[in-house]
Structure 1
């Protein structure tokens, strides 16, 4: 297994010296929890900084471990108990059961790890921010040498049968946990050597930094003043508030802008950006209290020719605007008079802290309208919802039996002559879809019966308008059916409904909507999820509501679907590339190659517990097969890596190999091409089925 943190670390530049050790400037000493594999140097490090001398133990599967007495005394060295599949009790990496198990049998069961709740109430503890976990992870060879040398000083039971392979496995286990906790929103950084600056985990596409990695050292507030007491009691900074008006004003020092539901514009050089609070439709007050996000985009509404990207700043994140931020430069195309590092923007519990970096480069702000996003739906959003209603029906619901069968038969005829698909040996559209590069591609992953997520994709960024004017192509990477939510797995109503919607889209825009086959696009009775035979249940539900003829027609639909999409901008399929040696003709003639069909719909990335999957060699071979550039993104679905995100970039340490998941209950993820680059985007969930129905009632 490759190092899980390979190419995911960057040095923290803003550091402070505490007892001879470089630590992030925003870190408070007693936030620190130190962990890592045996022999990494944790004890020496704790002694060096004067931390708590006794080691502690945390069972990460225990509900409320963040309140454990072990964490009362900090800084402290902590050993982690990790859950493994097939093992009832958590294991440390030096437990005998762990050491005796073969590497193939040791797969961390991330679903059993408990994550602290997010709280922003004044009187309640925000457990996610209470601790900062430092993982001490020197190179395995260095750890091995240290453990070998210390044997001369005495007997260390954890060093019995010591080998470099054992050390690598232990270090990788801690690397996996560090990455998982980082993705879960906990404060995590890595230290490879106590003589060097610590490292921040920064996956591709992450444009935000935690405050403790960038914050300046603050002077203690004076308790002789009201503002000093306010800062102490409410933990509010003394940084002054800035009043935005409808006149352009220059911002010359660090200033605070409230989360008041209103948008404002920032001008840096000749680049104009709009900052708007992200307020999803139907969001509860509790959700809005915990998710005071801001969206950054270029001003002006979208249109069919201009599908645009945006950036999001979540609470406790900081972003840097400037030409050296490549991800932002792709999104916003900074003008040359923007500095490489122009301004820092921090989201402090919803309020924005704007800090100039380059004093020679001005920052100007203005409010062009007084619209409160909390009270009124934007005009372009209403227009998109009405367009969706016009296309899909005044109320989003399952079609009547005859109407549904007629629709499916019509789409099957379209698939029999589908555009952009080289013909197989029988003269039928083959398993390969070769898209032109003129239209803007939008790639959606597994939807798993999340109807509102599909509606969210359709009603954002003027996508429906772009599809209607042949300016965009929507690619769905299979598995639109079968909910993965535990309380919905046996119900097929939403699955039937979402397929009605996709079939309607295909009939309306036959050369702009493409659906790739996934492993759930079948009536295979052996396929199940958590013991639920969803394919069989889907077949029975369709037979009951729509008859045997519909089931037969749906099987025809499955059999006529393509398996892979290729264009100059990307390669995409449901699960992953086929094994090395697969020929282009075999993919085109997919009906005669069941092994290739199974791999494209069911394979997974090669991991310690899944050695039969694909890896870097297969991705490289796939690009070579279709004669595309080495940097061409390969985008797949099928395998979400954790329950927190919808997009994972450079997965398996394979450059430009990405996973997209669009069935998350918190909203869908997708890819869209912007300025020639495939850019990941994610949207918050919205109850659009209900909203569109209400819109119909209000306008009728």
Structure 2
């Protein structure tokens, strides 16, 4: 703990001169420890073997997160058999310390896997049986990727539901290892595992496309079979083509900046919609309030901070029948704010992509006013203090909009920001951009947020309390926020704003708060989102695709 480290560093002052301990304080030690923890977690996520001791006289401990396999091979009780030196494999072990690979050949018949086995990548699907549960593995086929850049990722699906309306799935990317079983909450949520699946049934690694399958429970069966689906690629291409053509029709042509007149007309129309937005109680002055209350039959599709990654939003809209759900009014798209201002180094001053992102979102809102909702984030403003790495992005965005579209457009954008809702809820979820307010509030106050700017600011700018951010919100704040809106204790609470590391996109039970989700959808590697399926919030992710270019090259609209 920081307290123990502080005491030891104070004590060692009697043993010699330690310049780093000059003017030492408890706050300094806590800050340093927070940085060390971040570095260790980052190295662990990059697949490095990192070990931690509770104290200098204690043995090293392996880091095991909830979905990790958790136990390295050298810790298992059974020694790994070494091949005889009378074989080539034996000499490989002696000279290179490499054990032979147990290659597994798939067939059209179910075969058991009883030990670590490696299945070579051949671009074809396969099916895995865990107890009574079947999982189907499909090679991921992104559009527009050059062959040399193609990542041999896998989609893990439930054959009973995959391809149906708004279905769930998991991805296994190159270099990743996953433990599949009832103890993996994410997979249990997606696949609804029964008791025939063990708590820790099997581990699967993606080694450059090859699947390394290791049974973890001697009492439970693992079986595999080749699955033939020769028409899959053509089906995917046809489905995606239809979805992208529909997006092109919705947008009115190639996805490029609207002409100034059309951009202004679209924004003005949306501002009129926001003044009388569906499911939004008015405040005491008769203006649109800060809260949207959705009916329970609407299926929510949550998108986190996009930060000008237009291709990510296009990817979401073209997948999993999401657009079909929005058009049929059975589902609604909920963007949690901060769609603008790129966070990619070297692109933070470029504002055309932010203007294009807003053109797309505003067009969706114009066409589907009761099924597309945009919540206010801290970047949804022209305030001068919105800066990143010393770059005042709000000022740059305003300046660029003035150059592209003139003063009236900027004025209408300010009206748009002012009319945005801040919180959205139904009986089954609660969501906002950043976090809960730090004090007790009420439904009435949330509706009348214009009269409570302090609460509004906290909702769009607060962050989860962590070891390096002590001022953040806590479990009690989330609990109080749910209660203030008369929601059940375990109601999913969903926010964006605060990615907890540099590589992830979805964090479940964030801050050890049950059913608290943090979502970030702006990774250049591809988007993540949350969707409610069978009354459960499911995390989904997709690979990046150059959809702006693909849509632009598609044939003209009939």
Q: Do the two structures share a fold, i.e. TM-score over 0.5? A: yes
Inter-CA distance 286–435: structure 2 relative to 1 (3 Å threshold): same
What CA RMSD, in Å, does the superposition of the two structures yield over aligned residues?
3.5
Instruction: Quote the residue 2:171 is aligned against.
Output: 312
Q: 1:186 is paired with a residue of what secondary structure?
A: coil
In structure 2, relative to structure 1, the CA distance for the partners of 1:250 and 1:378 (3 Å cut) is: farther
Match of residue 390, structure 2, among 531, 535, 540: 531
- Deviations 1:521-567 (Å, cap 9, x if unpaired)? 12223433333332233223323332332222222221111011122
Equivalents in 2 of 1:166, 1:549: separation in Å?
50
Maintained 8 Å contact 1:210/1:317: no
Go from structure 1 to structure 2 and tell me whether the alpha carbon gap of 1:625 and 1:371 turns closer, same or farther (over 3 Å shift): same
Asked whether the 8 Å contact 2:62–2:70 carries over to 1, the reply is no
The change in CA–CA distance for 1:195 and 1:462 in structure 2 (over 3 A counts) is: same
Moved more, 481-490 or 241-250: 241-250
Write the distance in 1 (CA, Å) between the matches of 2:454 and 2:25.
39
* 1:361 to 1:182, Cα distance in 2 relative to 1, 3 A: closer
Q: Does structure 1 retain, via aligned residues, the 8 Å contact 2:302–2:336?
A: yes
* Matches for 1:576-591 after TM superposition, within 5 Å: 576-591=435-450
Q: Contact (CA 8 Å) 2:172, 2:206: kept in 1 or not?
A: yes
Of 171, 179, 191, the match for 2:53 = 191
| Counterpart Cα distance in 1 of 2:31 and 2:453 | 36
Contact 1:222/1:228 (<8 A) preserved = yes
CA drift of 1:148 comes to: 9.2
Q: Does 1:430 align with 2:289?
A: yes
Establish whether residue 243 from structure 1 lines up as the match of residue 85 from structure 2.
Answer: no
Cα separation, partners in 2 of 1:529 and 1:504, compared to 1, 3 Å = same
| Alignment check: 8 A CA contact 1:318 1:347 kept | yes
Structure 1-normalised TM-score?
0.71
TM-score, scaled relative to structure 2: 0.87
Matches within 5 A, 1:151-300: 155=15, 171-192=33-54, 198-202=61-65, 206=67, 217-228=79-90, 237-284=99-146, 287-288=149-150, 291-299=151-159
Cα drift, residue 358 of structure 1: 4.3
2:530 is the counterpart of 1:671 = yes
Q: CA deviation at 1:286?
A: 5.6
SS of the counterpart of 1:559?
helix
Residue 563 of structure 1: aligned partner: 422
Q: Give structure 2 stretches of 5+ with no counterpart.
A: none
Structure 1 gaps, min length 5: 1-138
CA distance in 1, matches of 2:54, 2:471: 32
CA change 1:358–1:644 in 2 (3 A) is: closer
Cα distance, 1:214–1:675 mapped onto 2, change above 3 Å:
farther
* SS of equivalent to 2:50: strand
Q: Which stretch of the first structure deviates more once superposed, 643-652 or 678-687?
A: 643-652
Q: C-alpha distance in 1, partners of 2:329/2:416?
A: 24
Contact (CA 8 Å) 1:519, 1:601: kept in 2 or not? Answer: yes
Q: Is 1:400 the counterpart of 2:263 in the alignment? A: no
Answer whether contact 2:130 2:222 (CA < 8 A) is retained.
yes
Q: Structure 2 vs 1, CA of residues 225 and 692 (structure 1 numbering), >3 Å: closer, same or farther?
A: farther
Could you tell me whether the CA contact under 8 Å between 2:493 and 2:516 is conserved in 1?
A: yes
543 and 621 in structure 1: CA distance in 2 versus 1, 3 angstrom threshold = same
Q: 1:253 to 1:557 in 2, by over 3 A?
A: same
Q: Is the 8 A contact 2:311 2:547 kept in 1?
A: yes
Q: Within 2, Cα distance between the matches of 1:476 and 1:600?
A: 15
Alignment correspondent of 2:354: 495
- For 2:169 and 2:47, the matched residues in 1 are separated by 21
Superposition deviation, residue 611 in structure 1: 5.1
Aligned to 1:643: 502
Distance change (3 Å), C-alpha of 1:277 and 1:427:
same
The Cα shift of 1:458 comes to: 1.2
What's the offset of the Cα at 1:499?
Answer: 0.9
Structure 1 residue 399 displacement after superposition: 1.7
Correspondence for 1:345 among 200, 204, 207 = 204
5 Å-filtered alignment, 1:423-572, equals 423-572=282-431
Q: Compare 372-381 and 671-680 and name the one that shifted more.
A: 372-381
Aligned with 1:180: secondary structure?
helix
Q: Distance in 1 between matches of 2:256 and 2:26?
A: 59
The 3 A distance-change label for structure 1 pair 170 and 612 is closer
State whether residues 189 and 201 of structure 1, in contact with CA within 8 Å, keep that contact through their aligned partners in structure 2: no
Distance 1:145 1:531 in 2: 37
- Alpha-carbon distance between aligned partners in 2 of 1:572 and 1:381, rounded to the nearest angstrom: 30
Q: CA deviation at 1:425?
A: 0.6
Please name the residue that 1:629 is paired with: 488
Deviation at 1:373, TM superposition (A): 8.2
Please give the alpha-carbon distance, in whole angstroms, between the structure 2 residues aligned to 1:359 and 1:212.
16
Following TM superposition, by how much is the alpha carbon of 1:213 offset from its aligned partner in structure 2, in angstroms? 7.8
User: How many angstroms does 1:378 deviate by?
Assistant: 4.3
CA deviations on 1:421-469 (whole Å, 9 max, x unpaired) are 1210122220011222323222111111110111111122221112122
CA 1:535–1:167: 2 relative to 1, 3 Å: closer
Match of 1:333 among 192, 197, 205: 192
Conserved 8 A contact 1:297-1:311: yes
**Could you say if the C-alpha distance between residues 398 and 333 of structure 1 is closer, same or farther in structure 2, counting changes exceeding 3 Å?**
same
Residues 210 and 316 in structure 1, CA contact (< 8 A), matched pair in contact too:
no
